[in-house]
Structure 1
């Protein structure tokens, strides 16, 4: 992600208001060149504004970082359009990176209980449809041109590859997103695409998994990992992702796991 001094980058983080997205925002903010734009997207304005204030207090005065908050629900067309429009209103000299995170969904129930397509579609609208629409919209807004490097990072999971009982929504969404971004990499060879599985992170999402997973064995496994200190910090996993992007030697479209690196 390094580039010539003075050249601006645009980095967009969806789901930036908490957890891994929150950490990535801080880690990126100390890597970006002056006048670069860090765009934070989430549904909760209060948390986004607090994150912006914290970043500016830590780094803003030193590197003149332009931190922008976009309150948007990517489950809805209006939220996607708002995010894409915000991207259009920036100027980028050298690099654009989009980081896409996801929600866990209802993990308290098993597959046979999801008989309402409206409920299923709502989850997929945010985590699959919204992810594709905002990625496509932003890439159109920042089309290919000489000197512009474009990258998309899909925050993936082991769940994209392995079934977790009672996690049918999450596993389905992650698998769909991985394939979606593999197709993008095949169609757009100039776009660097990475699906990064950050490992089991010590976040509110993991807390929800320990408390709410319908599968008892899975719930016990997560609880054991927590009690034995086996969960990863967001900072540790994020640092490995930053190194991946800085080294820039991965195959576009690949799925890489924290434990494989």
Structure 2
């Protein structure tokens, strides 16, 4: 098993301007090897600069490059220019792309209320099509480098939730695409990681939206008030632990609450206690089907 963590790496993270994307940038920045490059993408450059400052504070001297990009309109040329102009040394041991960007696409409507094809096309272009395109570009940019493809998924890729037809459909489709990728690219590592119910600005946006379905609103309000939302840093550290231990089959869907994630964190904690390297965040023991349904980790 070849190491993913601790080696010279090129790491691209979409939706890195806030929330879970920012946590991923920080945790990955802590554990990549010397000479690595982080390429962070999002629409808001000011927020990306904040993420960069946080990462560089934890890891002085790390190459952190930023690209302001609208993933709804980005195409092959856009992605190629972004990656090739930020290669860094170009001799990385591993190239990692983490697809965190995404939107909820919910406004209180049920699936049978959706009739606008153009609206649907815009949603899936942002939440699915750009992911497929970027993976293809990533492969072409690193033809001789070991590649790792990570989809930030959700329990809602597997379970339905009322008025979240777009979100469930997009997450389910992304999982399927990454499972195909794992079969087609057996030399690569592919992971669908569901980070659990996260306390991110996306939840605040959801609760502030007057169109949010009341059942959904009540569920999120209960989780937030009762402290059942996870810290993004904890879930990001768990994903890093999974990449370190690699105790999953390429293409698997692994949830924060799954045994594989718990085992990886236990190994991480044991290594840290014995003086090994660890990103060090502890996991939460809270779980419920309602909490799992709140996995809205994307950090657009």
Partners of 2:44 and 2:110 lie apart in 1 by 29
TM-score by length of 1: 0.91
Contact 1:23/1:234 (8 A) holds in 2: yes
Partners of 1:119 and 1:25 lie apart in 2 by 31
How far apart are 1:37 and its partner, in Å? 0.4
* 2:104 counterpart of 1:104: yes
How far apart are 1:204 and its partner, in Å? 1.3
Find the residue that maps to 1:239 and give its secondary structure. helix
Partners of 1:96 and 1:124 lie apart in 2 by 26
Q: Bigger relative contact order, structure 1 or 2, given CA contacts below 8 A and separation 6+?
A: 2
Find the residue that maps to 2:190 and give its secondary structure. strand
Find the residue that maps to 1:17 and give its secondary structure. coil
How far apart are 1:74 and its partner, in Å? 1.6
Partners of 2:103 and 2:5 lie apart in 1 by 36
Q: Structure 2 regions of 5+ residues with no counterpart?
A: 262-300
TM-score by length of 2: 0.79
Mean CA deviation greater in 98-107 or 172-181: 98-107
Alignment partner, residue 79 of structure 2: 83
* 2:120 counterpart of 1:120: yes
Partners of 1:19 and 1:134 lie apart in 2 by 21
| Runs of 4+ residues deviating >6 angstroms | none
Q: Which residues in structure 2 correspond to 1:1-261 (within 5 Å)? A: 2=3, 8-60=8-60, 64-78=61-75, 80-89=76-85, 90=87, 91-101=90-100, 102-143=102-143, 145=144, 148-212=145-209, 214-260=212-258, 261=261
Contact 1:9/1:93 (8 A) holds in 2: yes
Q: Deviation per CA, 1:95-137, whole angstroms, max 9, x where unpaired?
A: 1111001221234222122211111110100110011101111
Q: Structure 1 regions of 5+ residues with no counterpart?
A: none
| Aligned-residue CA RMSD (Å) | 1.8
Partners of 2:206 and 2:215 lie apart in 1 by 12
